[in-house]
Amino acid sequence: MIAIAKVDHLGIRVTDRDRALAFYATLGFKIEHEVDFDAVTIIKNAEDVELNLIVNGVDKTGGKNILMDMPDKHPGLTHVAFRVADIKATMATLKENAIQISQGPVTFGDGHVSVFVRDPDRNVIELRARLEPGAADDIEGLVFYDPNA
Protein backbone atom coordinates (compact mmCIF):
# COMPACT_ATOMS: atom_id res chain seq x y z
CA MET A 1 0.00 0.00 0.00
CA ILE A 2 1.17 3.54 -0.78
CA ALA A 3 0.73 5.95 2.13
CA ILE A 4 -0.50 9.20 0.58
CA ALA A 5 -0.06 12.05 3.06
CA LYS A 6 -1.92 14.87 1.29
CA VAL A 7 -2.81 16.31 -2.09
CA ASP A 8 0.30 18.03 -3.46
CA HIS A 9 -1.24 20.03 -6.33
CA LEU A 10 -3.92 19.92 -9.00
CA GLY A 11 -3.31 20.23 -12.73
CA ILE A 12 -5.97 22.11 -14.68
CA ARG A 13 -5.80 22.31 -18.47
CA VAL A 14 -6.83 25.73 -19.79
CA THR A 15 -7.11 27.35 -23.19
CA ASP A 16 -6.13 30.93 -22.37
CA ARG A 17 -3.36 31.64 -19.83
CA ASP A 18 -4.24 35.26 -19.08
CA ARG A 19 -7.96 34.61 -18.77
CA ALA A 20 -7.32 31.68 -16.39
CA LEU A 21 -4.84 33.70 -14.32
CA ALA A 22 -7.38 36.52 -13.92
CA PHE A 23 -10.05 34.07 -12.74
CA TYR A 24 -7.80 32.24 -10.29
CA ALA A 25 -6.44 35.57 -8.97
CA THR A 26 -9.98 36.24 -7.73
CA LEU A 27 -9.64 33.01 -5.74
CA GLY A 28 -6.38 34.30 -4.26
CA PHE A 29 -3.84 32.55 -6.51
CA LYS A 30 -0.66 34.20 -7.78
CA ILE A 31 2.06 33.02 -10.14
CA GLU A 32 4.71 31.08 -8.28
CA HIS A 33 6.73 29.87 -11.28
CA GLU A 34 6.44 29.53 -15.03
CA VAL A 35 8.03 26.45 -16.50
CA ASP A 36 10.22 27.23 -19.52
CA PHE A 37 10.29 23.70 -20.97
CA ASP A 38 6.56 22.95 -20.87
CA ALA A 39 3.21 24.76 -21.04
CA VAL A 40 2.83 24.95 -17.24
CA THR A 41 2.20 27.95 -15.01
CA ILE A 42 2.38 27.12 -11.30
CA ILE A 43 0.16 29.25 -9.08
CA LYS A 44 -0.30 29.25 -5.30
CA ASN A 45 -2.45 31.01 -2.76
CA ALA A 46 -1.53 32.35 0.69
CA GLU A 47 -2.38 28.96 2.24
CA ASP A 48 0.16 27.25 -0.08
CA VAL A 49 -2.52 25.51 -2.18
CA GLU A 50 -0.88 24.82 -5.54
CA LEU A 51 -2.47 24.60 -8.96
CA ASN A 52 -0.62 23.85 -12.17
CA LEU A 53 -2.29 25.55 -15.11
CA ILE A 54 -1.56 23.45 -18.17
CA VAL A 55 -1.78 26.10 -20.87
CA ASN A 56 -2.30 24.06 -24.04
CA GLY A 57 -6.01 23.28 -24.05
CA VAL A 58 -8.07 23.33 -27.24
CA ASP A 59 -11.85 23.76 -27.00
CA LYS A 60 -13.43 21.04 -29.15
CA THR A 61 -16.80 21.01 -27.37
CA GLY A 62 -18.06 24.53 -28.04
CA GLY A 63 -17.49 25.76 -24.49
CA LYS A 64 -19.00 22.73 -22.78
CA ASN A 65 -17.39 20.66 -20.06
CA ILE A 66 -17.35 17.10 -21.43
CA LEU A 67 -17.68 15.61 -17.92
CA MET A 68 -20.53 17.81 -16.73
CA ASP A 69 -22.42 19.30 -19.69
CA MET A 70 -22.69 16.40 -22.14
CA PRO A 71 -25.49 13.81 -22.01
CA ASP A 72 -23.00 10.90 -22.01
CA LYS A 73 -21.31 10.61 -18.63
CA HIS A 74 -17.59 10.22 -19.25
CA PRO A 75 -15.34 9.05 -16.40
CA GLY A 76 -12.99 11.58 -14.88
CA LEU A 77 -12.61 14.16 -12.13
CA THR A 78 -15.76 16.28 -12.14
CA HIS A 79 -14.73 19.07 -9.78
CA VAL A 80 -12.35 20.27 -7.12
CA ALA A 81 -13.58 21.53 -3.74
CA PHE A 82 -11.76 24.29 -1.88
CA ARG A 83 -12.50 25.07 1.77
CA VAL A 84 -13.21 28.74 2.43
CA ALA A 85 -13.49 30.49 5.79
CA ASP A 86 -16.67 32.48 5.11
CA ILE A 87 -19.25 31.48 2.49
CA LYS A 88 -21.09 34.83 2.64
CA ALA A 89 -17.87 36.76 2.01
CA THR A 90 -17.01 34.29 -0.75
CA MET A 91 -20.38 34.83 -2.42
CA ALA A 92 -19.95 38.62 -2.16
CA THR A 93 -16.50 38.42 -3.78
CA LEU A 94 -17.87 36.26 -6.59
CA LYS A 95 -20.65 38.79 -7.21
CA GLU A 96 -18.21 41.75 -7.12
CA ASN A 97 -16.09 40.00 -9.76
CA ALA A 98 -19.03 38.96 -11.97
CA ILE A 99 -18.35 35.25 -11.37
CA GLN A 100 -21.65 33.44 -11.68
CA ILE A 101 -22.61 30.77 -9.17
CA SER A 102 -23.66 27.74 -11.22
CA GLN A 103 -25.15 25.88 -8.24
CA GLY A 104 -25.90 26.79 -4.67
CA PRO A 105 -25.65 27.90 -2.05
CA VAL A 106 -26.55 24.38 -1.00
CA THR A 107 -26.06 22.20 2.03
CA PHE A 108 -25.99 18.44 1.71
CA GLY A 109 -26.80 17.89 5.38
CA ASP A 110 -23.18 17.36 6.39
CA GLY A 111 -22.65 20.61 8.27
CA HIS A 112 -21.21 22.49 5.30
CA VAL A 113 -22.53 24.91 2.69
CA SER A 114 -21.23 25.03 -0.87
CA VAL A 115 -21.39 27.15 -3.98
CA PHE A 116 -20.19 25.94 -7.35
CA VAL A 117 -18.63 28.09 -10.06
CA ARG A 118 -17.02 27.45 -13.42
CA ASP A 119 -13.62 28.73 -14.46
CA PRO A 120 -13.34 30.25 -17.97
CA ASP A 121 -12.81 26.74 -19.42
CA ARG A 122 -15.92 25.42 -17.65
CA ASN A 123 -13.97 23.44 -15.03
CA VAL A 124 -16.13 23.12 -11.91
CA ILE A 125 -14.88 24.61 -8.65
CA GLU A 126 -16.73 24.02 -5.38
CA LEU A 127 -16.20 26.60 -2.63
CA ARG A 128 -17.20 25.11 0.72
CA ALA A 129 -17.44 26.38 4.28
CA ARG A 130 -18.54 25.06 7.63
CA LEU A 131 -22.20 25.91 8.26
CA GLU A 132 -22.19 27.37 11.74
CA PRO A 133 -25.26 26.66 13.91
CA GLY A 134 -27.99 29.21 13.22
CA ALA A 135 -26.19 30.66 10.18
CA ALA A 136 -28.48 29.05 7.61
CA ASP A 137 -31.03 31.86 7.97
CA ASP A 138 -28.36 34.42 7.04
CA ILE A 139 -27.41 32.81 3.71
CA GLU A 140 -29.65 34.11 0.97
CA GLY A 141 -31.04 31.41 -1.31
CA LEU A 142 -29.64 28.48 0.68
CA VAL A 143 -31.06 25.17 -0.52
CA PHE A 144 -31.18 22.18 1.78
CA TYR A 145 -30.56 19.03 -0.22
CA ASP A 146 -32.66 16.12 1.03
CA PRO A 147 -31.23 12.81 -0.22
CA ASN A 148 -34.53 11.10 0.69
CA ALA A 149 -36.67 13.36 -1.50
pLDDT tens column, 116-144: 999 999 999 999 999 877 777 778 878 78
Predicted confidence (pLDDT) per residue in 39-73, tens digit: 999 999 999 999 999 999 888 878 777 777 777 77
* Beta carbons of 64 and 102 less than 8 angstroms apart: no
Q: Which residues contact 60 (CB under 8 A, 6 or more apart)?
A: none
d(CA 38, CA 91): 35
146 confidence band (pLDDT: 50, 70, 90): low
Residue 139 has a pLDDT of 82
Fold of 1-59: 3.30.720
Domains 1-59 and 78-149 equal at CATH topology level: no
Q: Look up the CATH architecture of domain 78-149.
A: Roll (3.10)
Instruction: Report the C-alpha gap between 61 and 72 in whole angstroms.
Output: 13
> What does the domain layout of the chain look like in residue ranges?
1-59, 78-149
Give the pLDDT confidence score for residue 138 in this predicted structure: 78
